[in-house]
Amino acid sequence: MTSKAKNTKDPKYSKLTIGVCPDQWGVWFPEDEKQMDPRQAMQEMAEAGFEVLETGPYGYFPKDPKELQSWADDCGMKIVAGTGWGILHKEEAWAETEKTFREIAETHAAVGAEYIVHLPPLYRDDKTWEWTDDRVLSDKAWNLYVENANRLGAMLLDEYGLKMVLHPHGDSHIETPEEIAKIFDATDPKYVNLCLDSGHIVYGGGDPVELVEKYPERITYVHIKAFDEDITREAHEKDWPFGEAVAKGASVRPPAGLPEMKSFIDSLAALDKELYVICEQDCYPCPPEFPKPNAIKMREYLAECGLGLL
């Protein structure tokens, strides 16, 4: 690992590795006319000082592992994780979910990744903001969610050597502290742990530091981002779709917003275990000149808080 990705100057923070993913570059979808060319995005990530990469929406970067590895090598990037969407709470959806994650797993195992982030399907569409599912799951659907989370995690670990982490998300069935606690209580920690996304935890009404302290053994991967407290409150009061909240500026660059990053990074450091901490800011869509200077400023601030070096 190169010195910029880890804070080698302060032992307290030396087990935290900073990385980046396409979300920081305004990318939410495998293909979209409002998004930057993927080759340019990866190159800009490297130019901004990042060396560790989560690949984001599957298909944005090359699916072929040799091509993906070639891109990463050209940019001096190490791929540590992939992401995927998959419905777990509907019996008829399992076959497609399994197929999708096997494809993602084959690509990412071949390039040496360690994690697969499961992004939950939303009950309101990210782009159209239309309702796509029940807001609250029935007991039967919830039980199937848990069963298939364990099933998917077991498949990824036992067959591909990849660790699955569930990602809480606005407008999803794992959003609030109560829902996160419920999923922890019901799933097997060998196969199912948490991608702690600090921004989505704030959006769901939780405290990321409290979550780290309460479930230290289940926090195995991190997305670090911040949300504006006032916009988040208004979004819930007026029941905005998550996409609308983002369009109105809910996701912000630290030190703006919550959580307060120094205390959050200190809580991660206190876990005293190797953790990838992936920079994110929900900024879809954004002008092409926005992501790189914005990400550089975020890296600079996080380095001041102990995460990585400049």
**204 neighbors 167 (Cβ within 8 angstroms):** no
Residue 1 has pLDDT above 60, yes or no: no
CB–CB of 152/86 below 8 Å?
yes
Average pLDDT of the residues in 146-162: 98
* 84 phi, psi to nearest 5 deg: -155, 150
Higher-pLDDT residue of 129, 126? 129
Return the minimum-mean-pLDDT range out of 2-6, 96-100, 202-206.
Answer: 2-6
Cα dihedral 186, 189, 191, 195 sign: positive
Report whether pLDDT(259) > 80. yes
Q: Residue written as tokens 């030190």?
A: 255
CA dihedral 216, 192, 69, 34 (to 10 degrees): -90
Contact 194, 166 (CB under 8 A): yes
Q: What is the pLDDT of residue 117?
A: 98
Reading the block at residue 147, the tokens are 């069963």
Place of tokens 């071949």: 110
Fold (CATH) for 11-304 = TIM Barrel (3.20.20)
What pLDDT shows up at residue 253? 98
* Beta carbons of 292 and 48 less than 8 angstroms apart: yes
* pLDDT above 70 for 57: yes
Using one digit for the tens of pLDDT, what is the confidence trace for 90-109? 999 999 999 999 999 999 99
7-24: pLDDT as tens digits:
999 999 999 999 999 999
Q: Are strands 163-166 and 193-197 parallel, antiparallel or unpaired?
A: parallel
Q: Where are the domains of the chain?
A: 11-304
Mean pLDDT of the chain: 96
The CA distance from 259 to 246, in Å, is 17
For residue 134, is pLDDT > 80? yes
Helix (H, G, I), strand (E, B) or coil at 247: helix
Its pTM surpasses 0.85: yes
What b/e readout covers 134-169, taking b as 16+ CB neighbours within 10 angstroms? Answer: eeebeeebbebbbebbbbbbebbbeebebbbbbbbb
Residue 242: the pLDDT is 92
Q: What is the pLDDT of residue 121?
A: 86
- Give pLDDT, residue 3: 72
Pairing of β 251-252 and β 226-227: antiparallel
pLDDT at 123: 87
> 25-29, 133-137, 198-202, 211-215: which range is least confident on average?
133-137
Predicted confidence band of residue 2 (pLDDT cuts 50, 70, 90): low
Strand intervals (E) in 146-293: 163-166, 193-197, 219-224, 226-227, 251-252, 275-279
Instruction: Report the distance separating Cα 190 and Cα 169, nearest Å.
Output: 22
How large is the average pLDDT for residues 20-48?
97
